[in-house]
Amino acid sequence: MNEINDPTVVADDVVVTMEYTLTVNGEVIDSSEGTDPLEFLQGYQNIVPGLERELYGMKVGQSKKISVSPADGYGEVDMDAFLEISRSEFPDDIPLELGVELDLRDEDGEIMSATISKVEGDMVQLDLNHPLAGETLDFEVKVVGLRSPTEEELEHGHVHGHDHDDYDEDFDEEFIDAVDAEDEE
């Protein structure tokens, strides 16, 4: 695709490339500094809703400070998302200490993250809330690129590529097979 057809502002169905720094309570929590910028498909909930909403209309090179409330970020702390589990349910190699993060599998086989929030006697309390639940998220962002998505990216609802968190091996295998088929023709 040539640059003439590329989008000029952040809108739905546009791949946005963005540099960012996330601060919570004055502490830098995450940043693209020193790494590749974040690339995502706008309008597909690939980022927190409050940030996505504030990006609409931005142009390449434009910077903005955005404050996202818990309700538009990772939600408020849900007191029903705490579980108490017997210490004996944990494998011996897991340190049962405050702040230890664990990946658990629910009844449907889905993986969910938990953090040990209390260890008392024979009971261990797990917090299933996102670690940033209840926090105001302060972002400094700069849009560094905009492009049209591929049909596959639109179909799947996220950006494809080796550097993307949602890297899709099946897509790459399909792409390689398609290229090989073209080469054979």
Q: What is the pLDDT of residues 27-66, one digit of tens each?
A: 999 999 999 999 999 999 999 999 999 999 999 999 999 9
- pLDDT, tens only, 73-93: 999 999 999 999 999 999 999
- pLDDT, tens only, 144-161: 999 999 999 999 999 987
Delimiting residues of CATH 3.10.50.40 domain(s) in the chain: 3-72+134-172
User: What number is the average pLDDT over the span 83-108?
Assistant: 91
Query: Residue for token digits 């340190």?
Result: 95
Question: What is the assigned CATH class of domain 3-72+134-172?
Answer: alpha beta
Cα 107 from Cα 83, distance rounded (Å): 15
The domain over range 79-127 is classified in CATH as 2.40.10.330: yes
Q: How far is CA 113 from CA 6, 91, 116, 130, 135, in A?
A: 38, 17, 10, 8, 18
Delimiting residues of CATH 2.40.10.330 domain(s) in the chain: 79-127
Nearest to 62 by CA among 143, 162, 176, 180: 143
> What is residue 43's predicted lDDT score, i.e. its pLDDT?
96
Considering Cα of 166, then 160, then 46, then 20, what sign does the dihedral take? Answer: positive
